[in-house]
Amino acid sequence: MPSNQNNNKNTQDDLLAMAISNALRLEQVKTGLTDDASDTLDGLSADLLSDLASSGVFDASQAGAIARRLAEFEKDSETSIQAVYKQILKDIRSSLADVAAKQSQLALDQINKVAGFELADSGLDEKALADLVEGALVQGAPIRDWLERQAGQLHQRVLDSVRDSLAKGESRADIAGKLLGQSAKAGAVGDGSLLQAQAQLDTLVRTATAAVANDAKLATYKENDDVVDGMQWVSVLDDRTTEDCEDLDGCVWDLDGEPIGDAPEFPGDPPIHWNCRSTLIPVLKKWSELSKEG
Ligand SMILES: [Zn+2]
């Protein structure tokens, strides 16, 4: 048995370095996934404009006809929006299963790199990875629920814009600008239903990726609780770090979330807020404990 003289401090420092470089790589993954989701959402602008044209709501002049055509647009636009968000959910699920697999492997690598040989060997199987993505909570709710909510909000904003334009006697070209945020691009503030939807989606995808990545790591630590004793909070420290995450940086808990040392109550695995970049690294059992059990 190797001695425990390559002390625990070096061990945690190695893990810390791995965690930080992984956190930076994960930011690139998040950017890739938000770009993909954003591209899918982009297709919606053409769908909505086509729904608008086919409803003929801006071509009617009598109140009764406008109301009927508006009701038709309401239905058509809901179908278009639902279809796009369904596609986004499908894509995200498959991408995040991949993220979960990679992060679970990373958790094994973390443990084994420090051990110097294959100490941990229990990864997560395909079913566990899919369940993990399905069950991942982002700010307390599943990804699917957030996407449904965002789709509903977008639909409402689109309808509000159309009604507003009709009330003001604007044309179909005006409403196109409102939906796509062309005026926002030109510097006006708070315009563009689809631009707002893009921003919401971006935040959701980033935070969901962090949730799945951390769930996968924590599940893998728990699978290997014969060698992993606990978990340590690691925050990416820069000018965007929140105060909460700054305070939690370096704190240690056992795998049930019981505080070790002067750690506060475990807040749940990260992310603990939108766009949170914090992560957990394993705290390994000491060699002496392992050899005693071995
Ligand atoms: Zn954070």
| Structure confidence at residue 287 (pLDDT) | 59
More confident: 100 or 175: 100
Report how far residue 282's alpha carbon sits from residue 167's, in angstroms, rounded to the nearest whole number: 60
CB-based burial, 23-42: b 16+ in 10 Å, e otherwise: beebeebbeebbeebbebbe
More confident: 241 or 186: 241
- Token pair belonging to 180: 């796509």
| Structure confidence at residue 176 (pLDDT) | 82
Cα-to-centroid distance, 88 and ligand 1 (Å): 25
- Domain holding 194, by residue range, is 10-220
Average pLDDT, the chain: 88
Q: Quick one: which of 219, 187, 207, 196 has its CA closest to 272?
A: 207
CB 149 within 8 A of CB 204: no
Cα-to-centroid distance, 202 and ligand 1 (Å): 16
Cα-to-centroid distance, 242 and ligand 1 (Å): 6
The amino acid at residue 53 is A
| Structure confidence at residue 191 (pLDDT) | 58
- Token pair belonging to 226: 């014969």
Average pLDDT, stretch 146-163?
A: 95
Chain position carrying tokens 């749940």: 268
The amino acid at residue 80 is S
Q: Is the dihedral of CA 30, 31, 33, 34 positive or negative?
A: positive
Cα-to-centroid distance, 272 and ligand 1 (Å): 6
Backbone torsions φ then ψ of 236, nearest 5 degrees: -80, 110
* Residue 73 included in any domain: yes
pLDDT of 235 above 90: yes
Cα-to-centroid distance, 23 and ligand 1 (Å): 12
| Structure confidence at residue 294 (pLDDT) | 44
- Token pair belonging to 71: 């009701």
Question: Across the chain, where does the E strand assignment appear?
Answer: 137-138, 141-142, 228-234, 252-254, 259-260, 279-284
* Residue 107 included in any domain: yes
Cα-to-centroid distance, 240 and ligand 1 (Å): 9
Report CA dihedral (221, 227, 233, 234) to the nearest 10 degrees.
Answer: -90
Beta bridge partners of 279: 234
Cα-to-centroid distance, 244 and ligand 1 (Å): 7
Cα-to-centroid distance, 245 and ligand 1 (Å): 5
Backbone torsions φ then ψ of 229, nearest 5 degrees: -95, -30
The per-residue pLDDT for range 104-138, each reduced to its tens digit, is 999 998 888 777 777 766 778 888 898 999 999 99
- Give the 3-state secondary structure of residue 183: helix
- Token pair belonging to 77: 């636009």
SS3 string of 37-88?
Answer: HHHHHHHHHHHHHHHHHHHCCCCCCCHHHHHHHHHHHHHHHHHHHHHHHHHH
Beta bridge partners of 138: 141
More confident: 189 or 274: 274
pLDDT of 286 above 80: no
| Structure confidence at residue 182 (pLDDT) | 57
Cα-to-centroid distance, 235 and ligand 1 (Å): 7
DSSP class of residue 285 equals: P
Task: Place 226 in a pLDDT band, splitting at 50, 70 and 90.
Answer: confident
Residues with Cβ within 5 Å of ion ligand 1? 245, 276, 278
| Structure confidence at residue 12 (pLDDT) | 78
- pLDDT above 90 coverage of the chain, percent: 64
Cα-to-centroid distance, 264 and ligand 1 (Å): 15
| Structure confidence at residue 189 (pLDDT) | 40
The per-residue pLDDT for range 161-220, each reduced to its tens digit, is 999 889 988 888 888 888 876 544 444 444 588 888 999 999 999 999 999 999 999 999
Cα-to-centroid distance, 213 and ligand 1 (Å): 14
Cα-to-centroid distance, 20 and ligand 1 (Å): 14
Cα-to-centroid distance, 135 and ligand 1 (Å): 21
Domains contained in the chain, number: 1
| Structure confidence at residue 212 (pLDDT) | 97
* Residue 236 included in any domain: no
The per-residue pLDDT for range 2-49, each reduced to its tens digit, is 444 445 667 778 888 889 889 989 999 999 999 999 999 999 999 999
Report how far residue 177's alpha carbon sits from residue 164's, in angstroms, rounded to the nearest whole number: 13
Cα-to-centroid distance, 196 and ligand 1 (Å): 23
* Residue 205 included in any domain: yes
* Residue 2 included in any domain: no
Cα-to-centroid distance, 278 and ligand 1 (Å): 5
Cα-to-centroid distance, 164 and ligand 1 (Å): 39
